[in-house]
Amino acid sequence: MRLSVLGPVELLGPEGLPVPLGGRRQVALAALLAAEAGKVIAASRLIELLWPEQPPRGPGPALHNQVFRLRRTLSATGLRVERRDPGYLLLGDLDAVAFERLARDKSIDEAPPAQVPALLDAALGLWRGEPFLGLHDIPPLRHEAGRLVELKLSLVERAAARLIGAGDPLTAVPYLRRAVLEAPLRERTRILLIRAVAAGGDVSAAQEQFHEYRTRCAAETGLDPSPAVEAEYRRLLRGPVDASPVAEEEPEAAVPQPLAVTPVPEPVSPIVGREADVDDLAQLVGRGHRLVTLTGPGGVGKTRLAVEVATRKWGGDCAFVDLSTVTAPEDVPTAFARGLGISVASDDPVTDLGAGVGDRALLLVVDNFEQVLPAAAFLVAVLARCPNVAAVVTSRERLGVAGETEYPVGPLGVPDADAEANDILASPAAALFLDRVADRSVRASGTPEQIGTLCRQLNGLPLAIELAAALARFRSIDEVFDGLRQAFARVIGSEKEPDGLEAAIRWSYERLSPEQRRVLRMSCVFAGEFDAAAARAVCGGDGEPFDRLVALGLLRLHRADTGIRYSVPRLIGAYLEQGARDADERTAAEVAHLRHYGGLCRDPQWLDDALLARVKDGYPDMLAALRHGIEHPVDDATTLDLATAMYMYWLWGGQLREALRWLDRLDQRFRHSPAALARLGVCRGSILRHLGRLDEAEEIGQSSVEGLRQIADPEWLVTGCLLLAALADDRGAAADVVRWAEAMVETARAGVPRRLPEALGALAVAHSTACDYERAERVALEALALLADVDSPVLRAGTRINAAQALVEAGRGGLALEVLTSGLDDLRGSPEGLDSYQVNIAWAQFATGDHAGALSSFQAYLRGSGGTGQWIWNIDAVAGCACTMLGGGQLRQGALLLGGVERLLDRLGVTVSPWIRRQLDLAYAEVVRQPQSRDLVQAGAQLSGDALVKLATQRG
């Protein structure tokens, strides 16, 4: 016999016939334990769920009696119910466990296509109907049923996409038709069915599928089909239809992540001599060439051409990915994530980037790809995931991938040796020289023939010509010509191939004073743009050498809102690296660089927005400084402060894999420092928690907290206890959440009074999680009473948010409203900003009974910040709209939203507070009394996140 939950919860005998399991309470107990197979469920929770109206007089013995009877019934199945503090767990194999194992197996993705139907049938054959049928009034079983159904539909979609991509669409059709019957409004299933039917030769039937979907959407939700479904229909109309692979749907948030892209740098001077190239390249991209690689030697102007097209010809959004400091192909995904402003938290950066970009139209300028050519396949994969993204890439050689269009960029045209004066001056190379010189007196000092000869000597390379033009402002054309000729002679004498660019750089460098040369060499330590303060700290001296270097074109000047900044042109830095820099001088520059940028991160505080902004602004140099700190163990405190600031930036920015790579190197760097290792352990534990590796995070968190206790580091001990409280909350262990929050408070009282209000706010939420609302209220009020002594707006903001949440859940919604509205200025400075403020104030209104005001606030958030806010707040806001609409009589919209929110929570593995969970469960209990409303809940579960936000903001 075996216990089956994929359908009615039943014991099945040897021939598959049901065996009596007992009364409803026995069935419910078996189902609850099966839903959490292998995990302990607290006895108190089981009692609450089995006797929801009123517990028996002796709840403990009553539960024990139910468990005893269940053990006896299951004795012949191989399943065991064991007692484990603080409750019970079920051990053994179940149909749901077996199905999940098959569904998560990679066989369907990797096996030969001919084997896919058999693998899919083996998984689907375990199903006998809707999971936990008849028990959906018990919230955990309803949620688990939804999760399993989602897993099944995703499995069918994976298998169907594999079959369609392998050229066997007709085999996929019956599976997809059954899935559509089960979830008629599910977008991806419908897209796959349309694609499969059309690829099988019946385009008319595929069009009928679209029209049926559109009619059903309008009837049941009042919405039009999503852009993805509309795009599939337009694809049908264009014909002919093939069986090309279909990209897998990404786990969605209620609203896509905002794109805080790195902008393409604005040109500081006009482009000269490339007008035809600009038009040709713009037409290539406009005609649908999605991967165009500009190839050519260094200094030929590839980047300038790409920038011109992006900033002057492209009419939409652009992003810039700078690979100049990236040398390892495995670091390319992180550079793309920074350029696109997208968090890459999983092992599959292509999926993360694809989900973040979605169907946005975007031009991507990717600079300096030649040093990471093996990563070309990654770029192709990103473009395949993002159908409306085009990439213009600069590289000294082609990428060599399918779909690439190479656009060779040659030197500027130079005049012939016997050209007439007017023809010389009209040539592209001479025109660039004259434009960059600008000074009429300089122009007059040279003859057209001299200018023509100079441009030929420089091989028409724009960078070399610009350097010569800069020199011409201080010397006559004759002197520039003679100096370059001598530099050429030295290049040729060194047995190297004559190079106009190297000759121009060499002669410019030799014209500098010793101090100017030293400043230029020291400046090569910078990885990005740097300001005057950084220049003084690393290079010393005053601003005179920098002015001279800018005038000669050896440094670039950038004017920003924050003031003047400098950068070293990449090719000039590369020339100096070849031999002009002394090893001791290089080390001195790197140590000074570390101390300057590490000094900007001194004594880093948790949730310090100003610090995170400094890291973001100077990220390339912050990263370079951290590398210097690892390579030169001269200043442990500065390196550790810098590492901590970088960790917080990576954590808040979702660059979790990047953080782990650097933490590995830092652990080695500080292997002899227990204090540093304990702090870094807390950092690692936080990253692992966000990656879902909870057991590892727990182990390292416990070890780090013990180490911090031994070395008496109260600041980081508070942070470590906060990590362990969050991990306990992830496990659903409310008592442990309270225990670790109390440890936070105790540590803060003894050694870090500045963080006591923050710790009390966390403890208030912990008591609320444990449903001890009286204590939650008391601690929240204590936290608020201490805010007057807190200097940090960020800490004040976090404390207000936590205290307000606890007060709402304790029934003090009016006071929570007052707390939130009186701290608006502080909330603006928090990392979560106004997102958390608006959503929390809406829930506070809901708690006071002001459902109309709450709905208005939830909708205002979704119409404004909901398009750019954090997805967790978007889900909270949609949940709030569902509850307020149902409470206000908007049954249809509320029921659809309720079903959609439940699906999002299941798919994303997100939890809400017990209080919000209870509001959702109460709303569901009210809705399911009406059969029509139950159908609406099921329809809402098939809507995408974008559709839910649109529905939530519609007027009833």
Q: What is the pLDDT of residues 247-297, one digit of tens each?
A: 444 434 333 444 678 888 888 788 998 989 999 999 998 888 999 999 988
3 state SS of 291: strand
Instruction: Give the separation between CA 827 and CA 804, rounded to whole angstroms.
Output: 12
Please tell me whether residues 637 and 763 are part of one structural domain: yes
- Calculate the average pLDDT of the chain: 84
pLDDT reading at 146 higher than 50:
yes
196-200, 230-234, 354-358: range with highest mean pLDDT = 196-200
Residue 493 has pLDDT above 50, yes or no: no
- C-alpha to C-alpha distance for 156 and 206, rounded to whole angstroms: 19
What pLDDT band is residue 709 in, cutting at 50, 70 and 90? very high
In this prediction, residue 257 carries a pLDDT of 43
Instruction: Report CA-CA distances (Å) from 570 to 99, 523, 576, 629, 856.
Output: 55, 12, 10, 23, 53
Task: Please check the confidence at residue 593 and state whether its pLDDT lies above 70.
Answer: yes
Same domain for 665 and 801, yes or no, is yes
Q: Are residues 800 and 889 in the same domain?
A: no
Based on the fold, state whether residues 531 and 562 are members of the same structural domain: yes
Determine contact, residues 133/7, Cβ cutoff 8 Å: yes
Look up residue 229 and give its amino acid.
V
Q: Which of 244-248, 670-674, 735-739 has the lowest mean pLDDT?
A: 244-248
Strands 530-531 and 563-567: antiparallel
233 or 517, greater pLDDT: 517
Domain shared by 128 and 210, yes or no: yes
Phi, psi for residue 608 in degrees, rounded to 5? -100, 100
The average pLDDT across 909-919 equals 77
**Looking at the domain assignment, is residue 469 inside a domain?**
yes
Does any domain span residue 864?
yes
163 near 137, Cβ under 8 Å?
A: no
Say if residue 246's pLDDT is above 70: no
Q: Rounded to two decimals, what is the model's pTM?
A: 0.66
* Joined tokens for residue 69: 């009877």
pLDDT digits (tens, 9 = 90+) for 715-756: 899 999 999 998 988 777 888 999 999 999 999 999 889 889
In a domain, 344, yes or no: yes
Q: What's the chain's length in residues?
A: 956
Q: What is the pLDDT of residue 486?
A: 66
- Phi, psi dihedrals of residue 484, rounded to the nearest 5°: -65, -35
pLDDT at 496 over 50: no
Mean pLDDT of the region 357-371: 89
Angstrom distances, CA of residue 933 to CA of 64, 68, 525, 876, 938: 37, 38, 66, 22, 9
Q: What is the predicted pLDDT for the residue at 909?
A: 60
Print the domain residue range for 135.
Answer: 98-238
- Whether 251 maps to a domain, the answer reads no
Domain end point (choices 341, 376, 411)? 376
Could you give the percent of the chain with pLDDT greater than 70? 89
The edge-to-edge listing of strands for the beta sheet with 362-367 is 317-322, 362-367, 389-395, 291-295, 405-408
Q: List the beta bridge partners of residue 318.
A: 363
> Residues 164, 70: one domain?
no
Phi, psi of 31 (to 5 degrees): -65, -45
Report CA 626 to chain centroid distance, whole Å: 23
Among residues 376, 399, 431, which one ends one of the domains?
376
Q: Is 653 helix (H, G, I), strand (E, B) or coil?
A: helix
Q: Does a structural domain hold residue 616?
A: no
pLDDT at 249: 45
**For residue 350, what pLDDT is reported?**
85
Burial 150-181, CB ≥16 within 10 A → b, else e? bbbbbbbbbbbbbbbbbebbebbbebbeebbe
Long-range contacts of 537-541 (CB under 8 A, 24+ apart): 537/592, 537/595, 537/596, 538/589, 538/592, 538/593, 538/596, 539/589, 541/515
Type of residue numbered 508 = S
Q: Three-state SS for 509?
A: helix
Min mean pLDDT across 574-583, 643-652, 866-875 is at 866-875
pLDDT, average across residues 750-771: 91
Q: Kindly provide the residue ranges of all beta strands, DSSP E only, lying in 13-148, ordered along the sequence.
A: 18-19, 41-42, 80-84, 87-91
pLDDT class for 910, splitting at 50, 70, 90?
Answer: low
* 473, 563: one domain: no
Count Cα neighbours of 451 within 13 Å in the Cβ-side half-sphere. Answer: 29
Residue 140 pLDDT > 90, yes or no? no
Q: 536 and 472 in one domain?
A: no
Q: Which of 720, 714, 705 is nearest to 746 (CA)?
A: 714
Long-range pairs, 851-855, Cβ under 8 A, ≥24: 851/884, 851/887, 851/888, 852/884, 852/888, 854/880, 854/884, 855/880, 855/881, 855/884, 855/885, 855/888
pLDDT of amino acid 834: 57
Residue 481 pLDDT > 80, yes or no? Answer: no
Res 866 pLDDT > 60: no
Choice among 303-317, 622-636, 909-923 with the minimum mean pLDDT: 909-923
Whole-number Å distance between alpha carbons of 101 and 106: 10
pLDDT of residue 831: 46
Long-range contacts of 376-383 (CB under 8 A, 24+ apart): 376/400, 376/401, 377/401, 378/329, 378/332, 378/333, 378/336, 378/349, 378/350, 379/291, 379/332, 380/291, 381/350, 382/336, 382/350, 382/353, 382/354, 383/290, 383/291
Within 10 A of 678 (CB to CB), how many other CB atoms are there? 23
Q: What is the pLDDT of residues 2-23, one digit of tens each?
A: 788 898 888 877 666 777 777 8
For residues 895-910, average pLDDT: 79
Mean pLDDT value across residues 440-449: 66
Instruction: Please indicate, yes or no, whether residues 506 and 520 belong to a single structural domain of this protein.
Output: no
Per-residue CA distances from 618 to 341, 571, 615 (Å): 15, 21, 5
Whether 866 and 906 map to the same domain: the answer is: yes
> Does residue 255 belong to any structural domain of this protein?
no
Q: What's the confidence (pLDDT) of residue 579? A: 60
Domain membership of residue 268 (yes or no) is no
Which CATH number characterizes residue 116's domain? 1.25.40.10
Tell me, yes or no, whether 83 and 103 share the same domain.
no
Q: Given this model, what pLDDT does residue 309 score?
A: 92
Domain at 16, CATH number? 1.10.10.10
Q: Which of 510, 538, 563 is the last residue of a domain?
A: 510
Residues 737 and 865 grouped into a single domain: no
- Is residue 616 pLDDT above 70, yes or no? yes
- Does 494 score more than 50 pLDDT? no
Determine how many CB atoms are found less than 10 A away from the CB of residue 467. Answer: 30
Beta strands in 323-474 (DSSP E): 362-367, 389-395, 405-408
Residue 361 scores a pLDDT above 80:
yes
> Total structural domains in the chain?
7
- The pLDDT of 890-910, averaged and rounded, is 81
Q: Is residue 343 part of a domain?
A: yes
